[in-house]
Structure 1
């Protein structure tokens, strides 16, 4: 009896530890391609280099070896704002009405709580460092980008870091409103700065401003695209003092000040983590978003590297729909010389490698905090709020229905290896709407409760451990160049189409949605479809939507996708009003996650 009691006492701390809610670190990068990760490339192709060439990610490789790597992860909108909104709500864009960069709120009568709200209800302290970017604010009659956002209890944003001028640059949004002029300011370690204006096409540049800008561009080897956006160059700061380095620093400050108040490097009075409560921390990095300016240290590591730029030919453009052609023209690579294109790819991957080091440090410091307090942990890394084209489809951008705009990678690591086994690779489809249910499950919620019926995603634990039938497809929608475009992707096909006739956002006059079925009832040509047969065209070069042998298949996908995004409880919202929206439910239940295409309409391949 005595020995049994002693054994029970010895085991008691382990039992209590196992029952604790895990501290959660959620890391999100910006515009990052999955192939910037050696571990992802190795799992997909057997080669740690990307198909374009050299990449470097030792810290993320290590993280992946400790948990589960999802190699077929996809965003639910290939644009930052709606993608991040889908993550934070656990709902598809067509269920929230969040398709673009419009200022939005979560206060209409169909609104559902978001991640930080439900985590707080579960007993978590919630904090956010760096970029959130979901564009969901508290409602006000005249909403602005600076209107306070109160979803996380404590927050230091990347904009706050820029405003205090302790990093390498300030974002050009601080320019002169409505003048066609934006100001860029860059800072040096010795506290010097250089500033210049970026003038719109209707604004006359001054000789003085042009001289300052061109001198800076020469010194930092800056590469710009036709609209002035910086897509290559060297940062003025070392890694630890870039914007991403400072984001890591404000996160680290927080962990280092447990159970005490402190003044952050940005001047904000903060309260460090309460070690009696589990922590939910969102860490949003800027890299490799424009301006693509990695530190000189990492840029030098990639110097001289040559990359295989994807081929794009005129016939591919000719077969694109008009909407997709407009996207291509706006973000085409053809304003760049071959050497400039090489520089963009080099600097992009160098920026990702720089960020890899910062992620490694963030993970290490978070684990040390958990170990010091004998607390379990869950780490979720989202590599890119969406993807990025590096010449695929002749483009350098995002916001399309193509693979490189939507394909990403996710890594989940838990101190409980039974839940997320170390070194496991999962090729099944995963979507960003899966993040919210993963966090809620970890927090102890029962997702079978009716209150969670609004969730579109599934706990990644279920996918990782084959405890749920895998999806047959993933979906997304975005308000892109020329209007809304929706997409569906299966193992064998990718399909996209114009989902709304109108290019404008909903207004008080248009909200009745009289045209909601337009994409299903218009002519096939008006629907501007794109269909790619991935069995023979994995790079999505040949749009076969209007080829005679694929016409019936195109129509099948048009109906499948259209019924989901237009008729399965679609929300269109007038965000300038507190409670004005339209709900379209003519095909409720269409999103069944199953693809059952009649064999007779699938073209045979050799």
Structure 2
């Protein structure tokens, strides 16, 4: 009798766990790199295209279907519009300036103004989405681009040997067995490093951008390779298993620009015509039959009347299609929350600025039975809202405070409920606050930089002689291009009426002092929550 009782208890517990897992969704977060939601390119600029669902003239049937089956967001924003800090914010739920990574603290010790940029990294001793969800019973998987850990090893191979990495030359042939073996070894080391941050599965891993592989011939996008890694993880999934969180981050459409043809060969050297055997783990002969051939995609794009140089979008779209098909094949599509975003925008070279070109991103959510098909939400959303959303639907809590808000009220109301009156964003020496109508941007410099300016010192320029004021971010390349196209880049106080001037061409701060003061007060509310991170008069 006792044995029967024990068996019944075990059976009841198993049923309870199955029921609990059935209520908690799997989560698939798909991240593109440097993509804005705007349908039309800025005049005179050839920048990454958006999706067909956002009105762009591109062939993206799978993403468009995803949008038709879920909710499209019209005003989603990066909390820090450059790769590393944005990813940090939507994988921790914290603003970038709260980072306590070693490289960030080395450059910006506590007590000093932070200058958030691509030196942000996940901390070894703090929470992130993988650690929290894993503690809550989720299987966690990381596939694709990182730019989130080990900045000491990202920037150049000079001391790689001290870190367990193998060196090779910038112009070495990746098909050389020695070079390929070194790349494979290094990729394995990086994979192990990332797993320590809470990921059960890490594969198809890129340390950062393609140039951080430090080999010119290997600087090519390989979407099939990363998609294959995600599909391998999904092949291990069964309906009755613990739920999963899969982070899938492509290198596209970040540079090297996938729409550019080589002047000598006339081929898409970095994308559609690149050798698919070149991966971040060396030369690999993998089966990529789960996606159409790249040449076939180019032909399809042209046959359907779309510009040939948008084929890279159709390539990205095919990767999304492969992921969605795999969810169907393993029987979990109906219980998976799928979110498609970009880490930040690139429109009007707005990356690394708080202008709409940098902040605004495409965002699509599909969750059968929870998110209404064909719905739309035009209220304010920040990517820092993703983590609170994941935790709420997963039924877990973080021991640390979160900066965002859960999107579940938006889902539950079919897009009728607003969750933000204002959102905050930061980059370099700039901080900003945005409402649905207004945006205020403040540019302030730390004391030592103010003293340099007062002495007439000049600052590094990307092209040409030194300049009078420093760029907002340490990356002068990004600063140079942003300042060329955004006319008020250096203005100390900026106010834009986004209804009347969505392209932010007129800084109306001087003629609207009352609005400026109100927006300054809102910005101060955010900045006073940053301990030991002063920012001009706003933190006083």
State the TM-score, normalized to the length of structure 1: 0.57
Conserved? CA contact 1:37–1:57, under 8 Å: no
Q: Distance in 2 between matches of 1:503 and 1:255?
A: 51
Q: Residue 458 and residue 39 in structure 1: after superposition, are their counterparts in 2 closer, same or farther (change >3 A)?
A: farther
Q: Single out whichever of 428-437 and 376-385 deviates more from structure 2.
A: 376-385
Conserved? CA contact 2:146–2:206, under 8 Å: no
Conserved? CA contact 1:125–1:153, under 8 Å: yes
Conserved? CA contact 1:570–1:583, under 8 Å: no
Conserved? CA contact 1:37–1:60, under 8 Å: no
How far residue 491 of structure 1 moved from its aligned partner, in angstroms, is 1.7
1:158 aligned to which of 205, 210, 215: 205
Q: Which residue of 1 aligns with 2:494?
A: 530
Q: Distance in 2 between matches of 1:530 and 1:424?
A: 34
Q: What pairs with 1:402-441 in structure 2 (closer than 5 Å)? A: 402-415=355-368, 417=369, 419-441=370-392
Which protein has the bigger strand share? 1
The answer to whether residue 419 in structure 2 is matched with residue 470 in structure 1 is yes
Q: Distance in 2 between matches of 1:28 and 1:72?
A: 17
How far residue 433 of structure 1 moved from its aligned partner, in angstroms, is 1.2
Q: Distance in 2 between matches of 1:367 and 1:33?
A: 29
Q: Distance in 2 between matches of 1:304 and 1:503?
A: 59
Q: Residue 585 and residue 122 in structure 1: after superposition, are their counterparts in 2 closer, same or farther (change >3 A)?
A: farther
How far residue 587 of structure 1 moved from its aligned partner, in angstroms, is 6.4
How far residue 19 of structure 1 moved from its aligned partner, in angstroms, is 4.1
Q: Which residue of 1 aligns with 2:312?
A: 351
Q: Which residue of 1 aligns with 2:354?
A: 401
Q: Which residue of 2 aligns with 1:496?
A: 441
Q: What pairs with 1:114-513 in structure 2 (closer than 5 Å)? A: 114-135=128-149, 148-149=193-194, 150-151=196-197, 152-159=199-206, 171-175=210-214, 183-186=215-218, 242-257=221-236, 276-293=241-258, 294-295=271-272, 297-298=296-297, 347=309, 349-371=310-332, 377-389=335-347, 392=348, 396=349, 398-415=351-368, 417=369, 419-445=370-396, 454-466=401-413, 469-479=418-428, 484-501=429-446
Q: Distance in 2 between matches of 1:406 and 1:30?
A: 13
The answer to whether residue 503 in structure 2 is matched with residue 539 in structure 1 is yes
How far residue 126 of structure 1 moved from its aligned partner, in angstroms, is 0.9
For residues 371-410 of structure 1, the C-alpha deviation after alignment (integer angstroms, 9 at most, x for no partner) is 4xxx852233232100112xx3xxx351111111111122
Q: Distance in 1 between matches of 2:146 and 2:213?
A: 18
Q: Residue 556 and residue 289 in structure 1: after superposition, are their counterparts in 2 closer, same or farther (change >3 A)?
A: same
Q: Distance in 2 between matches of 1:40 and 1:487?
A: 29
Q: Residue 246 and residue 95 in structure 1: after superposition, are their counterparts in 2 closer, same or farther (change >3 A)?
A: same
How far residue 96 of structure 1 moved from its aligned partner, in angstroms, is 3.4
The answer to whether residue 527 in structure 2 is matched with residue 566 in structure 1 is yes
Q: Residue 29 and residue 526 in structure 1: after superposition, are their counterparts in 2 closer, same or farther (change >3 A)?
A: closer
Q: Distance in 2 between matches of 1:406 and 1:526?
A: 17
Q: Single out whichever of 61-70 and 552-561 deviates more from structure 2.
A: 552-561
Q: Residue 369 and residue 545 in structure 1: after superposition, are their counterparts in 2 closer, same or farther (change >3 A)?
A: same
Unaligned runs of 5+ in 1: 1-11, 42-48, 163-169, 176-182, 188-234, 236-241, 259-272, 308-342, 505-524, 573-581, 589-606
The answer to whether residue 57 in structure 2 is matched with residue 33 in structure 1 is no
Q: Give the number of equivalent residue pairs.
A: 395
Q: Residue 59 and residue 87 in structure 1: after superposition, are their counterparts in 2 closer, same or farther (change >3 A)?
A: same
Conserved? CA contact 2:21–2:243, under 8 Å: no
For residues 142-167 of structure 1, the C-alpha deviation after alignment (integer angstroms, 9 at most, x for no partner) is 9989772312122014338x9xxxxx
Conserved? CA contact 1:102–1:135, under 8 Å: no
State the TM-score, normalized to the length of structure 2: 0.63
Q: Residue 305 and residue 488 in structure 1: after superposition, are their counterparts in 2 closer, same or farther (change >3 A)?
A: farther
Q: Distance in 2 between matches of 1:529 and 1:185?
A: 44
Q: Single out whichever of 89-98 and 490-499 deviates more from structure 2.
A: 89-98
2:427 aligns to what SS in structure 1?
A: strand
1:26 aligns to what SS in structure 2?
A: strand
Q: Distance in 2 between matches of 1:119 and 1:423?
A: 29
For residues 467-499 of structure 1, the C-alpha deviation after alignment (integer angstroms, 9 at most, x for no partner) is 9653122221012xxxx2112222222221214
2:206 aligns to what SS in structure 1?
A: helix
Conserved? CA contact 1:87–1:433, under 8 Å: yes
Q: Residue 538 and residue 127 in structure 1: after superposition, are their counterparts in 2 closer, same or farther (change >3 A)?
A: same
Q: Residue 468 and residue 27 in structure 1: after superposition, are their counterparts in 2 closer, same or farther (change >3 A)?
A: same
Q: Distance in 1 between matches of 2:447 and 2:311?
A: 40
For residues 53-107 of structure 1, the C-alpha deviation after alignment (integer angstroms, 9 at most, x for no partner) is x223211111112222222111101101000000011112243367222254525
Q: Residue 186 and residue 276 in structure 1: after superposition, are their counterparts in 2 closer, same or farther (change >3 A)?
A: closer
Q: Distance in 1 between matches of 2:490 and 2:147?
A: 33
Give the alignment's Cα RMSD to 1 decimal. Answer: 4.1
Q: Which residue of 2 aligns with 1:192?
A: none
Q: Which residue of 2 aligns with 1:76?
A: 79
For residues 289-322 of structure 1, the C-alpha deviation after alignment (integer angstroms, 9 at most, x for no partner) is 1112241555566679999xxxxxxxxxxxxxxx
Q: Distance in 1 between matches of 2:350 and 2:537?
A: 34
1:398 aligns to what SS in structure 2?
A: coil
Q: Distance in 1 between matches of 2:99 and 2:120?
A: 13
2:202 aligns to what SS in structure 1?
A: strand
